[in-house]
Chain A
């Protein structure tokens, strides 16, 4: 028990330091950005027709005359007290925006995460178990092709095929255009999420499948698999009893490590599909110099990635008896 607490404490401190570092890095990048918030958000022409007082007021609103250190510390002290600030672009509390966006993104990401994880595992195990033969060659070829395809390009391709040519899926957004929010059904939402989720999954599968294949191939070469064959176990039994058991550990790590890739991918994919999710909000905040929103999204997504890795660590201990025993001894 004491060990568990120590472990949790260490991880917590590490997470706080990580979030601090990430938010600082995001702030510095934003600060170094050559974009002038007034020009990007209001426009050259509109600025020209404004009075000096109006411009000064806007500069104050965008925090341009506050020294950077003061700005960051101001954001940090509010954040520590639980106030994520108000978005400059949306004029809504950052926490509220993130909440809404996350709700629509989460379905997308969760689907892509599960689908790419399960399919990647199946493909990887199949390829590893048949290495050198045609299923392996087929799967590997597919994975290499997909890995070298940019996600946004794939998104555009899917849009062209399913939305433009076949016309069976909507071209963008998360709900039908012009429909009353009350009239939107779950089916509508799902239909709109299919393409973005599919794009994310297809690109995610390749990575997981290739890594799983390597692990599976190692296992197939292992002494214990040879011995299982020597003991007359059938191919099926060998694959299910020894193969899957041993590939589970690396698969868990891969699965949880892929959270970061899913989040990263969602930024591009949501942009292509105009899907109002967290990724799109991040792009808007970044380009529009919306500091509180960008920092808020950065911290939240970093925490999600950290949470994923932490979950992998904890599950490791539950699955691997060697780690479990070591932990119990302390």
Chain B
């Protein structure tokens, strides 16, 4: 089946001026690949600074003007270029952003959800969507500052659902919510996927992502290092040492930290970016960049993954 979204070897860089005349390319995302099929929730998990939000902006075609995008993004089987993204965003491809600051503080919620469009059918639809998320019609007349954190997230989801989205990109939709409220928000995304849409869930919260995701792609320093089915985590069938470390760092899985930090964008590194923190690191890991290759359950960017699998 043709995936609804497929991203191949995506790289996003920024042009920086180190002095008046010297230009410099700062790579923030470097070789990122993933794909989403209709009805799936794919979580993109990574620490802050790994380039998660830029991925969302890159797909939507709303990167800042000094950003430069390479690689291929295909949506529904066709290349998603800037013009096509501009046509589809807000209609078929929708973004659910982080929080209330993404709503215009001086505009009532109802007109914001409807993007200022009028008409009885749309009004009814707006009511229905709000009701679906447990929000009464009085919310339409509220200003964003009057919304609680959880209400704001549900309003933001409503802005997506009132369109007829085929691809929903949720960029950190839960920070600041308690576990129960966050779980409910996650449930809403699962529902949307079950309804036939593809959901790209961008988050730093692996634990929460695992509760709803079909597959998880792990980002490290702007690269996808592993894409694995969600069930592989609990089953211990993870292949990349970083994914494993991430999973084991969760309180219920041992709470084991690993030393070191993710390299900053622009830091010169040869070979595997995770090498300095890896306990399986070999000489050849530091020689050339590591290919992202298909394995039985997904993809991995590691030379020593097979040993791990057979061990």
Q: Which residues of A are in contact with B by a Cβ distance under 8 Å?
A: 222-224, 226-233, 237, 241-242, 245-246, 248-249, 319-322, 325
Q: State A224–B216 Cα separation when bound (angstroms).
A: 29
Contact A320 B97 (CB under 8 A): no
**Which residues of the partner chain B approach A320 to less than 8 Å between Cβ atoms?**
106
Contact B103 A224 (CB under 8 A): yes
**Which residues of the partner chain A approach B88 to less than 8 Å between Cβ atoms?**
232
| In-complex Cβ contact of B97 among A227, A232, A242, A248 (8 A) | A227
Residue of B with least CB distance to A240: B116
**Which residues of the partner chain A approach B57 to less than 8 Å between Cβ atoms?**
226, 230
The verdict on A246 contacting B105 (CB below 8 Å), with A230-B89, A232-B86, A232-B90 known, is yes
* B8 interface residue (CB < 8 Å to A): no
User: Can you list 29 contacts pairing A with B, beta carbon distance less than 8 Å?
Assistant: A223-B97, A224-B101, A224-B102, A224-B104, A226-B57, A226-B62, A226-B102, A227-B97, A227-B102, A227-B103, A228-B104, A229-B62, A230-B57, A230-B60, A230-B62, A231-B94, A231-B95, A231-B115, A232-B87, A232-B89, A232-B90, A232-B91, A241-B104, A241-B107, A242-B104, A245-B104, A321-B143, A322-B105, A322-B145
Q: Which residues of B are in contact with A by a Cβ distance under 8 Å?
A: 57, 60, 62, 86-91, 94-95, 97-98, 101-107, 115-116, 143, 145-146, 159
Contact B107 A245 (CB under 8 A): yes
**Which residues of the partner chain B approach A223 to less than 8 Å between Cβ atoms?**
97-98, 101-102
**Which residues of the partner chain B approach A321 to less than 8 Å between Cβ atoms?**
106, 143, 145
**Which residues of the partner chain B approach A229 to less than 8 Å between Cβ atoms?**
60, 62, 89
| In-complex Cβ contact of A230 among B97, B105, B145 (8 A) | B97
Contact A242 B143 (CB under 8 A): no
Q: State A224–B101 Cα separation when bound (angstroms).
A: 6
Pick from A222, A248, A249 the residue with the most CB of B within 10 Å: A222
Pick from B60, B62, B104, B107 the residue with the most CB of A within 10 Å: B104
Q: What is the CB-to-nearest-CB distance from A328 to chain B, in angstroms, rounded to a whole number?
A: 12
Q: State A227–B144 Cα separation when bound (angstroms).
A: 14
**Which residues of the partner chain B approach A222 to less than 8 Å between Cβ atoms?**
101
**Which residues of the partner chain A approach B102 to less than 8 Å between Cβ atoms?**
223-224, 226-227
Q: State A321–B105 Cα separation when bound (angstroms).
A: 9
**Which residues of the partner chain B approach A322 to less than 8 Å between Cβ atoms?**
105, 143, 145
Q: What is the CB-to-nearest-CB distance from A10 to chain B, in angstroms, rounded to a whole number?
A: 25
Q: What is the CB-to-nearest-CB distance from B250 to chain A, in angstroms, rounded to a whole number?
A: 29
Q: State A224–B104 Cα separation when bound (angstroms).
A: 5
